[in-house]
Amino acid sequence: MPDKSNDAHIVQRFDRELEGVRSNVLAMGGIVEQQLSDALQAMADCDADLAERTATNDYKVNRMEVQIDESCTRILALRQPTASDLRLVLSVAKIIADLERIGDEAERIALFVTRIARANCNRRHYTELLHMGTLVKDMLHNALDAFARMDARQAVEVARMDEKVDAEYEAHMRQTMTYMMEDPRNIPPFLDSVWCARSLERIGDRSRNLCEYVIYLVKGKDVRHTTLAQMEEVAR
Amino acid sequence: MPDKSNDAHIVQRFDRELEGVRSNVLAMGGIVEQQLSDALQAMADCDADLAERTATNDYKVNRMEVQIDESCTRILALRQPTASDLRLVLSVAKIIADLERIGDEAERIALFVTRIARANCNRRHYTELLHMGTLVKDMLHNALDAFARMDARQAVEVARMDEKVDAEYEAHMRQTMTYMMEDPRNIPPFLDSVWCARSLERIGDRSRNLCEYVIYLVKGKDVRHTTLAQMEEVAR
């Protein structure tokens, strides 16, 4: 039955293509994680060189986004996937867009750290930021892990962490405002720390987005713009 | 020939579906434009009520995003479009994601304006912001117009405007930093104006993204992460 074996061959090739896309997404995620991790390390060590290297590495992430997007388009055009295969391709298209923007935020942080480290580096400005950075790094890592393991429950757990990040961000902003009002000479360095905090908060939001796509992928339900409780309901 | 007329019927229905998606995107764009316009009007008039109404209207945009996204998925699953039809569906999926986030930024501006208008409203803080706001509003409007008319050249013109917005943003930030250092009591209101400026700058970036999707749609080339000159080359 040559026809059937030919069909099986096509199915296998299709599965390999999908698997390739999936592992490329994880590779892209790994690079973005490293970018964030390096930006935070540069902040902790006041290391302008590491910060600058991190900022210039962003082109790799951009290139991967375009490549994976092309693979998705090719699969849609040639394989015309349906059901869960279609959901995988559509989720991937969204995931890489958010990953690319997480990379942009990491680049932004690295650029501020470059400036901070070249001017004056007062660790007092950045201790709380680093704590927030660790939280956000965990969020991103666990979101990618939930995607790798197709784990909707873990995705909800990550989304829950975003509330903690938002609370830390608010506290940081209030604290920073007080420092700036105490002594106007503090304004420029603290304003840089405000931008870093803002970027970290955005990375938290985007990691939450990743979790929403994982839930869509696993459960077939769009949970964007829903509450954490509704998300939990769907993931159960 | 009943078969042929049946085929023609299916093609017509498909065209109507695509046309429906296109006009829904334009309707969603119209709502987002209005949101931004209202937020800026509230800023100009120190109108806390208008600002609050604008912020609470964001759910409409979110709902439209989910609906249009569902239409796109349905079309991909049932019609399995190829070539320019596939490009339209994929561009729309990206366009609505950016439109939704432009809506979020407009909501953010409206929330800051609510706070500003309720506390003390010193127009001196916001004159330059309003100028930047007008530029950004034009960018968004022209980007949507380029999509409506499938005009790649106009898309490049809009992308070019983003450089002007970025320059205004930088100037605003330098100016604001000076004001804050002059008198620490200026810090809280100026920090709010910094956030508004940041949101406007982001809307400019996202309107530029819209233009990139229009060029992809019309020319079939992915121009993300390219320079303005490269974009021009493709759109010619």
Task: Show the DSSP H helices in A46-151 as ranges.
Answer: 48-56, 58-79, 83-118, 127-148
Report which of residues B119 and A173 the model is more confident about.
A173
pLDDT score, position A3 = 59
Residues from chain A contacting residue B83 (CB–CB below 8 Å): 77
Residues from chain B contacting residue A225 (CB–CB below 8 Å): 59, 62-63, 65-66
pLDDT score, position B5 = 73
Q: Are the beta carbons of B31 and B60 closer than 8 angstroms? A: yes
> Which of A63, A97, A184 is opposite residue B97, by nearest beta carbon?
A97
DSSP helix/strand/coil, A224: coil
d(CA B193, CA B180): 11
Given a cut of 70, the residues of chain A with pLDDT beneath it are: 1-4, 121, 124-125
Q: How far is B224 from chain A (nearest CA, A)?
A: 8
Q: Are the beta carbons of B92 and B186 closer than 8 angstroms? A: no
B64 to chain A: closest CA residue? A225
pLDDT at B221 over 90: yes
Q: How far is A11 from chain B (nearest CA, A)?
A: 18
* DSSP code string of B33-90: HHHHHHHHHHHHHT-HHHHHHHHHTHHHHHHHHHHHHHHHHHHHHHH---HHHHHHHH
Q: Are the beta carbons of A17 and A71 closer than 8 angstroms? A: yes
CB contact under 8 A, B225 and A181: no
Residue among A35, A36, A91, A84 nearest A211 (CA):
A91
Q: How far is A87 from chain B (nearest CA, A)?
A: 8
d(CA B209, CA B188): 32
DSSP structure class, residue A127: H
> In chain B, what percentage of residues exceed pLDDT 70?
97
Among A108, A224, A227, which would you mutate to test the B interface (most chain B Cβ atoms within 10 Å of its Cβ)? A224
Q: Are the beta carbons of A102 and A140 closer than 8 angstroms? A: yes
pLDDT score, position B184 = 83
Question: Which residue's structure tokens are 């902003």?
Answer: A173
First and final C-alpha spacing in chain B: 44
Number of domains in chain A: 1
pLDDT score, position A47 = 93
φ, ψ of residue A42 to 5 degrees: the values are: -60, -40
Which of B85-94, B120-129, B131-140, B204-213 bottoms out in mean pLDDT, i.e. has the lowest?
B120-129
B173 to chain A: closest CA residue? A191
DSSP helix/strand/coil, B234: helix
CB contact under 8 A, A86 and B63: no
pLDDT score, position B4 = 65
Average pLDDT for chain B? 92
Residue among B91, B108, B107, B92 nearest B27 (CA):
B92
What ipTM was assigned to the predicted interfaces of this complex?
Answer: 0.89
pLDDT score, position A117 = 86
What are the residues of chain B with a beta carbon less than 8 Å away from any beta carbon of chain A?
59, 62-63, 65-66, 69-70, 73, 76-77, 80, 82-83, 86, 90, 93-94, 97, 177, 180-182, 184-185, 187-188, 191, 194, 198, 222, 224-225
DSSP helix/strand/coil, A166: helix
Residues from chain B contacting residue A86 (CB–CB below 8 Å): 73, 76-77
pLDDT score, position B55 = 94
CB contact under 8 A, A181 and B184: yes
Ramachandran class of B46: left when φ > 0, alpha when ψ lies in -120 to 50, beta otherwise: left
First and final C-alpha spacing in chain A: 44
Q: Which domain holds residue A208?
A: 4-235
d(CA B189, CA B183): 12
A205 to chain B: closest CA residue? B101
Which of A225-229, B132-136, B176-180 bottoms out in mean pLDDT, i.e. has the lowest?
B176-180
CATH of the domain at A94: 1.20.58.220
Residue among B220, B225, B235, B180 nearest B205 (CA):
B225
Q: Are the beta carbons of B219 and B229 closer than 8 angstroms? A: no
Q: How far is B43 from chain A (nearest CA, A)?
A: 23
d(CA B222, CA B208): 13
pLDDT score, position A4 = 65
pLDDT score, position A187 = 86
pLDDT digit string, tens, across residues A83-92:
999 999 999 9
pLDDT score, position A64 = 97
Q: Can you point out the beta strands (E) in B94-153?
A: none
Question: Which residue's structure tokens are 């796509």?
Answer: A213
Any residues with CB less than 8 A from the CB of B192 and at least 6 apart, and which?
Answer: B112, B115, B116
* DSSP code string of A183-220: -GGGHHHHHHHHHHHHHHHHHHHHHHHHHHHHHHHHH-
